[in-house]
């Protein structure tokens, strides 16, 4: 009798364990709309997602693996992600256009591009539109998706990075870098990063920007890339102005570098990095699934971990908290320099080209 009773208990425990395991697995998966379930099933059949971007984008190979595991856990899929190191974002966009014109497949199933890059590619009509809202109506809103095609994934704030131990003064506004104590201590990019926004009619405009550039160039000691934060940390330069959204700086700060990053309060614009799925993608459903996941809470957490950036439009965003703090301190409201804005930014783009010439003319 005792042995029969023990068997019943064992069976009950086994059933309970199985039920708990199934429930845990279900909880591990995110809530899915009917459209997202269909997309996940179609993506699963395509097998392997192809991604091409630089090693410093979204964590490179290691980041791709994190995305792969997380997507499979979230959607119950068995996809694979194959990441191939690629050139800068504008160059990948050119590759997509050239291959599309030749009837060839895209080198990547998801293109990541800056708002200005995306605006420049509009004339080629390279990317798929989709019913993005149906996949995740709470996250894929009109504020996040442009033209039913381009999905914002990371906010790009305009600012600068400086060595907090070596700075001669604390730079709070862009024009602080005109002060004599910054002469020979400042680096900038060879392509005048950020000056398309600084020179926009919604910001400083052409004339004020060119006047600033004439003085600023006298304090600039040389050029550097935005991901070379060790050059600021070691004191080769004391500041980078501007710093291509500051993600590299935030990564360096997390590693203990003596750096500080300032979001410019005197240029009230925020740009974006987008995902878009090429029309000539080999695995378009996988591209859409990856993009939809990137804006989920889980996806944004991965992006935040891999890049120290995220989309400021979401309530959990770290960037959003920073933006709100600057808005409150200076009594301003940031505007969005998105794709639609970039298509009309002739004055800003002209400013950037002229500032680049000024910097190069002065032998930087």
Q: What is the pLDDT of residues 40-58, one digit of tens each?
A: 999 999 999 999 998 888 9
pLDDT of 9 higher than 50: no
* The predicted structure's pLDDT at residue 272: 96
Whether residue 242 is found in the same domain as residue 354: yes
- Output the CA torsion sign for 95, 145, 242, 321: negative
Residue 182 lies in a domain: yes
pLDDT at 29 (0 to 100): 56
Q: Residue 296's closest CA among 61, 150, 69, 135?
A: 135
For residues 186-208, average pLDDT: 94
Q: Is residue 24 part of a domain?
A: no
**Domain identity same for 137 and 44:** yes
**pLDDT at res. 27:** 38
Secondary structure of 288-307 in HEC code, one letter for each residue: HHHHHHHCCHHHHHHHHHHH
Q: For 219-247, what is each residue's pLDDT tens digit?
A: 999 999 888 999 999 999 999 999 988 88
Q: How far is CA 211 from CA 13, 204, 269, 313, 356, in A?
A: 77, 10, 20, 34, 13
pLDDT over threshold 60, residue 22 = no
CA dist 249 and 206 (Å) reads 28
The structure's pTM equals 0.87
Q: How far is CA 209 from the centre of its chain?
A: 26
- Counted domains in the chain: 2
SS3 state at 143 = coil
- Least confident range from 3-12, 96-105, 266-275: namely 3-12
Per-residue model confidence as pLDDT tens digits over 74-122: 999 999 999 999 988 899 999 999 999 999 999 999 999 999 999 999 9
Range of the domain at 191: 157-270+332-361
Residue of 328, 347, 350, 194 whose CA lies nearest to 271: 194
| Whether 86 and 177 share a structural domain | no
Q: Checking phi first, is residue 307 left (phi over 0); if not, alpha (psi -120 to 50) or beta?
A: alpha
Are 255 and 218 part of one and the same domain? yes
Identify whether 234 is part of a domain. Answer: yes
Nearest to 244 by CA among 300, 309, 294: 309
**Whether residue 151 is found in the same domain as residue 281:** yes
Return the number of other C-beta atoms located less than 10 Å from residue 347's C-beta: 18
pLDDT surpassing 70 at residue 216: yes
Same domain (yes/no): 258, 292: no
Is residue 273 within 8 Å of residue 93, measured between CB atoms?
Answer: no
Is residue 263 in a domain?
A: yes
**Same-domain check for residues 94 and 71:** yes
Q: What is the chain's percent helix, strand, coil content, to nearest 5?
A: 50, 15, 35
Neighbours of 2 (CB within 10 A): 6
> Which tokens hold the place of 42?
């179609």
- The pLDDT value given to residue 326: 95
Beta carbons within 10 angstroms of residue 98's beta carbon: 12
Do residue 204 and residue 308 come from a single domain?
Answer: no
- As a whole number, mean pLDDT of residues 10-17 equals 44
CA distance 68 to 78: 9
Residue 280 sits in the same domain as residue 222: no
CATH number reported for the structural domain that contains residue 124 in this entry: 3.40.190.10
Give how far the C-alpha of residue 196 lies from the chain's centroid of Cα atoms, to the nearest Å: 18
Same domain? For 225 and 174 the reply is yes
Residues 183 and 234 in one domain: yes
Query: Are residues 346 and 260 both part of a single domain?
Result: yes
Q: Is residue 5 part of a domain?
A: no
């Amino acid at each position: 009798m005792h042995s029969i009773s023990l068997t019943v208990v064992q069976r009950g425990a086994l059933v309970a364990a199985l039920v708990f395991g199934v429930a845990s697995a279900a909880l591990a998966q995110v809530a899915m709309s009917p459209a997202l379930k269909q997309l996940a099933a179609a993506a699963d059949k395509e097998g392997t997602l192809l991604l091409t971007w630089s090693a410093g984008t979204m964590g490179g190979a290691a980041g791709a693996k994190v995305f792969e595991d997380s997507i499979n856990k979230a959607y119950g899929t068995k996809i694979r992600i194959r990441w191939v190191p690629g050139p800068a974002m504008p160059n990948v966009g050119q590759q997509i256009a050239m291959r599309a014109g030749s009837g060839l497949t895209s080198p990547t199933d998801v293109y990541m591009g800056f708002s200005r890059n995306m605006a420049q590619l509009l004339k080629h009509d390279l990317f798929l539109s989709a019913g993005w809202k149906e996949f995740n109506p709470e996250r894929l809103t009109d504020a996040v998706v442009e033209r039913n095609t381009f999905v914002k994934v990371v906010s790009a704030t305009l600012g600068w990075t400086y060595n907090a131990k070596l700075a001669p003064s604390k730079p709070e506004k862009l024009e602080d870098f005109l002060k004599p104590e910054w002469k020979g201590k400042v680096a900038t990019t060879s392509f005048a990063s950020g000056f398309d926004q600084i020179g926009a009619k919604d910001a400083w405009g052409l004339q004020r920007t060119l006047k600033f550039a004439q003085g600023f160039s006298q304090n600039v000691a040389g050029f550097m890339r935005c991901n070379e934060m060790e050059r600021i940390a070691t004191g080769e330069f004391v500041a980078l102005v501007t710093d291509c959204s500051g993600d590299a700086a935030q990564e360096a700060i997390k590693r203990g570098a003596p750096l500080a990053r300032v979001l410019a309060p005197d240029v009230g614009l925020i740009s974006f990095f987008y995902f878009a799925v090429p029309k000539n993608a080999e695995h378009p459903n996988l591209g859409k699934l990856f993009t939809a996941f990137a804006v989920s809470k889980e996806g944004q957490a991965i992006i935040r971990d891999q890049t120290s950036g995220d989309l400021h439009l979401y309530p959990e965003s770290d960037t959003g908290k920073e933006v709100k703090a600057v808005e409150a301190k200076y009594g301003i409201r940031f505007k969005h320099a998105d794709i639609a804005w970039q298509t009309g930014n002739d004055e800003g783009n002209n400013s950037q080209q002229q500032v680049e010439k000024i910097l190069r003319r002065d032998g930087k």
